[in-house]
Amino acid sequence: MQLNTTHDRPPEASPAARSFPGIPASVPEARAFIRAQFVGQDDATVFAAVLAASELFTNAIAYSASRLPGREVEILVYLGETWAAVHVVNAGEVPPCLRMRPGLGKGLEIVGMLTSAFGVNGADWWFTIPAGGAR
């Protein structure tokens, strides 16, 4: 598993971005948003992007302040000619009295297996994958 703490984006890249309520019902909407950004990519790229983003989104609503009433999770997708970067930005840490016990920990392992690199910068969890495999 490769975990980085910084991520550089080319200056010409403009993201597609959307915020979602930090509730479980938003997970399918987040998946659909990711899928829509990868239209025309090969099936393996779409699968990797959707599953990795879904794992990070689910972690955001399970373990961060995004799960508190009125909070959100933002997704940004940077799609270049040969690569893509997806950022899942949560609302930060929850107060200690509201913290949940960590889960089984397989989600980040899945993200690591599906992506070229992934990392975290504060509340911004991101990953990169090869892209450009248009059908």
Contacts of 123 (CB under 8 A, 6+ apart): 64, 89, 90, 91, 92
Question: Is domain 3-130 given the CATH code 3.30.565.10 in the classification?
Answer: yes
Tens digits of residue pLDDT in 37-94: 999 999 999 999 999 999 999 999 988 999 999 999 999 999 888 899 999 999 998 8
Q: Is 31 exposed, middle or buried (0-12, 13-18, 19+ CB in 10 A)?
A: middle
Q: What percent of the chain has pLDDT over 70?
A: 81
Contacts of 6 (CB under 8 A, 6+ apart): 119, 121
The pLDDT confidence band at residue 13, using thresholds 50, 70 and 90, is low
Run of H or E residues at 63: helix 43-63
pLDDT at 21: 98
pLDDT at 1: 39
Q: Give the chain's mean pLDDT.
A: 86
